[in-house]
Structure 1
Amino acid sequence: MRGAGRTRRAALVSTVCAGLVVTGCGGGGEDPDAGTNGVGKLSPAKIQSRTVSVAKAAPAVRLSGSVTSKGHTYKLDMRLKEDGGTGSVTAKGETFRLLRVGENLYLKADAGFWAHDAKAGGGSPADSSAAAKLDGKYVKVPTGDPAYQQLSGFTDKDVLLDGTLTLHGTLTKGDRTTSGAQRVIKLTGDDGAGGTLAVALDGKPYPLRLQRAGGAGTLRLSEWGKDFPLAEPGPAETVDYGKQLPTR
């Protein structure tokens, strides 16, 4: 009788397990993609295609971290959307703020930034004195100024995402892990030598973190779809620089 009872209990357990959607009764491992957005099941190329698609479609994003390009390292903290962006850039030890609304680009920095530019250009004491008037004011960058092309790129969502989402070499799918409080799957180019991108497994498959190829910086992408105010500064907040702006 005892043996028969054990047999009936075993049969009951087997029947229950067979009816469960979630695995694990029989000792097998849980589905690593259960409860996720499902991109972890896709091929590396499809994961990249999907994450690029949702990133480009997002109305806004915050991008922060460091980028090394042509021997220069830039620290960024930019909030971006389709019609412009705002935030800070640090280059060569100096920090300045950028604001772009449509085609209108503005730069704001402290007196030290402008004084350094005057000294570097062999400016006179009068130029250094004028730097004080620029302290904390927005300066409109003319579209024909050489600095416009360089600086406006930091405020352009599509330009920055194109650079951020590019991995080099053969794509492979890495481990499922976490980035902060979010589950992610890693996508690598040439086993990491071509960059590593962490893609969200929760919600939309947004890119959340990029380690650039060749150790050229790490960028975090957050606040996807979160809107923010973007307006041109008023007359009291702006001042005319009066000559070609510096490039950094």
Structure 2
Amino acid sequence: MTSSAPAVRARRRTALAVVLCAGLTVALTACAEEDPDKGTNGVGKLTAAQIDKKARAAADASDAVRLTGKLVGKGGTYTLNMQLSVDGGTGSVTSEQSTFELLRIGDELFLKADAGFWSHDADDAEGTAGGGDESDRAAADKLQGKYVKVPEDDPTYKQLRGFTEKKTLLDGMLTLHGKINKGDRDTIGGVRTVQIMGGKGEGGALDVSLKGTPYPLRVARGGGGGTVTLADWGEAFALEPPPEDDTVDYGGQLPKSSG
């Protein structure tokens, strides 16, 4: 009678070999899984507070940036498309009533708007003054489509200039409120990002680049304050005075403006 022991031992060796091969395959597959931070700037490995510090430092050090998106505040909702530098800014702002262009070079601020913008302001002046202000209406005809130099003592100068100031806008937008936590990974404009949040997002959120310099690429302001995309970091752009024949120096004060 032939013993079955050799056959049993053979089957066991085969089974063991299968188990070992399977285990080795799993191990090799695990090793082959791509590190989520491979090929990045390594910022994703940092704590939320460290990422926040690096992103803000990168933004402060950059000479220029483009902002596009919406800001929502007590003064209303504004849609921005602005290029900002340390020397000034240019672009457009759309409020709930109108769209206007801004250009600032140093302390010189120019405002360009269509007839609807100035007519709306004249109508506001009529309603609040209890009678038509013909001088404001005449000014509206004169100013439409022109670059109007905004006097520095005009009540709207500070508000309008704020839209053209890199530091002013970024300091307000990039500040997160509450305990800072890390969020999800994402991709913005083809660039991988890591998100940091104030609380669970109620204190705002920043998506920070995982490629090159850790610039903030998108900011969602807390409390429904709007979302803005930040791009073209460090890319220079021209800031040139408008042509003289397209410029009006209105003088002391602009017609009443509600924005």
Output the TM-score relative to the length of structure 2: 0.84
SS at match of 1:121: helix
Residues 1:103 and 2:107 aligned together: yes
In 1, the alpha carbon distance for the partners of 2:37 and 2:135 equals 65
Equivalent residue, structure 1, for 2:224: 215
* Map of 2:28 onto structure 1: 25
Task: Check whether the contact 2:151–2:252 (CA below 8 A) recurs between aligned residues.
Answer: no
What is the CA deviation profile of residues 103-130 of structure 1, one whole-angstrom value per residue up to 9, with x for unaligned ones? Answer: 1111010111111111111143453243
Q: Post-superposition shift, 1:196?
A: 1.1
Does 203-212 or 237-246 show the bigger shift?
A: 237-246
Distance (whole Å) between structure 2 residues aligned to residue 127 and residue 54 of structure 1: 45
1:35 maps to a residue whose letter is G
1:44-55 alignment, distance < 5 Å: 44-55=48-59
- Quick one: which amino acid aligns to residue 201 of structure 1? L
User: How many Å separate the matches in 2 of 1:204 and 1:211?
Assistant: 20
Q: What corresponds to 1:184 in structure 2?
A: 193
**Shift of the alpha carbon at 1:101?**
0.1
CA distance in 2, matches of 1:247, 1:147: 9
Spell out, residue by residue over 1:40-77, the C-alpha distance to the aligned partner (whole angstroms, 9 max, x if none).
01111110000011111111100111111115111111
Stretches of structure 1 lacking an aligned partner (at least 5 in a row): 18-23
Amino acid at match of 1:180: G
- Contact 1:107 1:139 (C-alpha < 8 Å) held by counterparts: yes
Select which of 67, 70, 75 maps to 1:66.
70
Counterpart in the other structure of 2:42: 38
The residue type equivalent to 1:83 in the other structure is: D
Which of 87, 110, 117 is residue 83 of structure 1 equivalent to?
Answer: 87
Residue 241 of structure 1: CA displacement? 2.6
2:118 and 2:29 map into 1 onto residues whose CA distance is 70
* Structure 1 contact 150–247 (Cα < 8 Å) conserved: no
How far apart, CA to CA, are the structure 1 residues paired with 2:55 and 2:202? 20
RMSD: 2.4
Query: Among residues 114, 121, 134, which one is paired with 2:125 in the alignment?
Result: 121
Aligned-residue identity in percent: 53
After TM superposition, the structure 1 stretch with the greater mean CA deviation from structure 2, 152-161 or 230-239, is 230-239
Which residue in 2 is equivalent to 1:197?
206
Deviation at 1:94, TM superposition (A): 0.3
**In structure 2, distance between residues paired with 1:108 and 1:129:** 16
For the 8 Å contact 1:211–1:218, the answer to whether it is kept is yes
Cα distance in 1, alignment partners of residues 85 and 221 from structure 2: 22
Q: Which runs of 5+ in 2 are unaligned?
A: 1-12, 127-131
Letter in 2 for 1:166: T
Displacement of 1:93 after TM fit? Answer: 2.4
The equivalent of 1:21 in structure 2 is: none
Distance between the aligned counterparts of 1:102 and 1:227, measured in 2?
Answer: 16
The code of the aligned residue for 1:240 comes to: D
Q: Deviations over 1:22-45 (max 9, x none)?
A: xx7252443111110011011111
C-alpha contact (below 8 Å) 1:96/1:109 kept by paired residues: yes
Task: Give SS of 2:30's match.
Answer: coil
